[in-house]
Amino acid sequence: MKHEPFFWISVSCGIVIMAFILLPLIQMMSAPSVGMLKETIQDKDVVRSIWLSIYTAGLAALISFVLGTPLAYLLARSAFRGKRLVESIIDLPIAIPHPVVGIAILSVAGKNYWIGQILSELGIRIMGSVTGIVTVLTFVGLPFYLNATKTGFEGISPRLEKVSRSLGASLFSTFFRITFPLAWRSMLIGLIMCCARAISEFGAVVIVAYHPMIAPVMIYERFEAYGLKYSQPVAVWLVSISLILFFLLRILTLHKVKE
Amino acid sequence: MITIRGLNIDLREFQLRNINLEIAENEFFILMGPTGAGKTVLLEAIAGLIPLMSGKILIGEREITGLPPEKRGISIVYQDYALFPHLTVLQNITYGLHFHRIDKTHAEKRLDRLLEVLNLFGLKQRFPVNLSGGEKQRVALARALMVEPKVLLLDEPLSALDPNFREEVRGALKRLHQSSTTTFLMVTHDFVEVLSLAGRAAVMNKGRIEQTGHVKEIFEKPASPFVADFVGMKNLFKASFNETYAMVSGVRIEIGRTVDPSSQYLAVRPEDIIISRNKFSSSMRNNYSGIITQINNQGFYYEIAVQIKDVSFKGLITKGALIELVLEEGIPVYVSFKASAVHVF
């Protein structure tokens, strides 16, 4: 069959986009020598910062899961005045420039604001602390979890829940026996997206907590101080470990479905 | 027994107004009405899935108005089956047992009986995605009845099925109703289902109940022009009434009884109208001569429109009768019907 010109235009655009995304990444990943990579991963500071990146992102996803799931369910199931407004507010963190997020969080956590005062009385510090990093990552990651999970809930017919209720299941049992088993895949995708977004955050974190250093901050610091060559190996390790974790998670969960 | 008193519902897109209904225990009751009449809303309100604005719902002597759906003992079956896609047929059917204290041997017996009546033995381990429409609806029925509900609500359970499956599931419904003490309340558009399953029925329109009564009564004596039109009264005319007869655009129609002077309409079912080539000698009080203006093929029947003065009557005849009487458009015929076939409202 002879293809229309439009087909060839689409294919060409596709190739350009693939190259645009992949070439810089491949170049970066293959730039450092094996020896250098080895040396880098033996550096305790590097390991600590990568680990900090991963577990703060994980915590942000966990908080999003706990706080976001009920809200996602509410938004998927009910129509109420101001629902659009709530949905727009949820999307706000996606649109705000990252350093602004950091500044905004510091302004409520500062001692001049009542939340900051309560926090300081409780002995909780946001500025320059792991708590601060997790707060920022949750702020930027939450919309991704909420939206993915909401879409998942919307894909489940409310009639399944209605039938479950009529058969004697409470709202709670219905959620755990019907809604959750049908929505967990969307929730997992939401968690992965939330995590991925959190791991990649730099601009907001650098304002709230330069130290302790998460991996993107360390990559930036090394780039500033020593140049491209010293920042690349850390970047390679961060990207590799994150990708491996996400792939493992997906493989594990997809495997379960087949059973 | 289900008793509904003064029920009002206000959803954005639907409103139910002053619904009053009494359904006897173990009755097979049918709700009819056009799309958008509020039938599904009424079912979901009875099941406790939609909040009421006002009114009361009782099952027997027990008021259930404020109870959550899981405490009502009312099962619901939807047109689109609503099977749980992540559970097998067997897990679907026994789902409700998790929440009911039913003796294990009793439950097993009940399960076997439902599997047998609904012919589901071979499908126990399958997932819903691998079932045909008829099989899915049989599973949904088994699931709903497994918990021995006091009331079973059926929302157009047969309308998504192919005709042959429809007959099969309809038969199963009838058997299940006859062999249980559950009250069945079903929504349908299909008159075949109404006539073959129901004892009594109600016709709904725009959130209100237009008429409640025995199926025969609704079909033969519609209480309003809407019901008449809905159940297929083709000959529906505005009339003026004088003692025992009525005038419709200059045509005098004998009713044979005195009627409520506030009546405004009169109707005759097409199948009660006899069309003949020669004057029909019988006890029928209404006999007219007219001209055939139209013959419509309606599948099993032909609808014949006969013009009598300014009034067009429609009658139904079989294809055999059409050929035998050599009827065609433009020829003169006689139209007859009994006074008792005239409905006044």
> In CATH, what number is assigned to the domain containing residue B125?
3.40.50.300
Please report, for the domain that includes residue B267, its CATH number.
2.40.50.100
Q: What is the dihedral of CA B40, B42, B44, B47, to 10 degrees?
A: -140
Domain that holds residue B58: 2-225
Q: Are residues B164 and B256 in the same domain?
A: no
Q: Are residues B198 and B176 in the same domain?
A: yes
Contact B95 A181 (CB under 8 A): no
Q: Are residues B81 and B218 in the same domain?
A: yes
Contact present, B140 and B154 (Cβ < 8 Å): no
Q: Are residues B35 and B99 in the same domain?
A: yes
Q: Are residues B29 and B175 in the same domain?
A: yes
Q: Among candidates A167, A188, A189, which has minimal Cα distance to A178? A: A167
In a domain, B337, yes or no: yes
Last residue of a domain, one of B225, B243, B277: B225
Taking only Cα atoms into account, the Rg of chain B, rounded to an integer number of angstroms, comes to: 24
Pairing of strands B74-77, B151-155: parallel
Last residue of a domain, one of B182, B203, B225: B225
Q: Are residues B95 and B200 in the same domain?
A: yes
Strand order through the sheet with B240-242: B240-242, B245-248, B251-254
**Residue type at B240?**
S
Q: How many residues does this entry show for chain A?
A: 259
Q: Are residues B197 and B257 in the same domain?
A: no
What is the topology classification, in CATH, of domain A53-214? MetI-like fold (1.10.3720)
Q: Give, in order, the Cα–Cα distances in Å from A25 to each of A125, A161, A192, B187.
A: 36, 46, 20, 61
Chain B residues with CB under 8 Å of a chain A CB are: 12, 44, 47-49, 68-70, 72, 74-76, 78, 80, 82, 84-86, 95-96, 98-100, 143-144, 147, 149, 153
In a domain, B89, yes or no: yes
Last residue of a domain, one of B177, B200, B225: B225
In a domain, B295, yes or no: yes
- Does A79 contact chain B (CB < 8 Å)? yes
Q: Structural domain tally of chain B?
A: 2
In a domain, B230, yes or no: no
Q: Are residues B117 and B138 in the same domain?
A: yes
- Chain A interface, mutation test: which of B95, B100, B129, B137, most A Cβ atoms within 10 Å? B95
Per-residue pLDDT of chain A (259 residues; tens, 9 = 90+): 678 899 999 999 999 999 999 999 999 999 999 999 999 999 999 999 999 999 999 999 999 999 999 999 999 999 899 999 999 999 999 999 999 999 999 999 988 899 999 998 999 999 999 999 999 999 999 999 999 999 999 999 999 999 999 999 999 999 999 999 999 989 998 999 999 999 999 999 999 999 899 999 999 999 999 999 999 999 999 999 888 888 887 787 776 554 3
Q: Are residues B247 and B219 in the same domain?
A: no
Q: What is the ipTM of this complex?
A: 0.79
Contact A167 B85 (CB under 8 A): no
Look up the pTM and report it: 0.79
Q: Are residues B204 and B280 in the same domain?
A: no
Contact B70 A167 (CB under 8 A): yes
Contact present, B180 and B27 (Cβ < 8 Å): no
**Which residues contact residue A6 at a Cβ distance below 8 angstroms, ignoring those fewer than 6 apart?**
none
Contact B99 A160 (CB under 8 A): no
Q: Are residues B208 and B85 in the same domain?
A: yes
Q: Are residues B198 and B284 in the same domain?
A: no
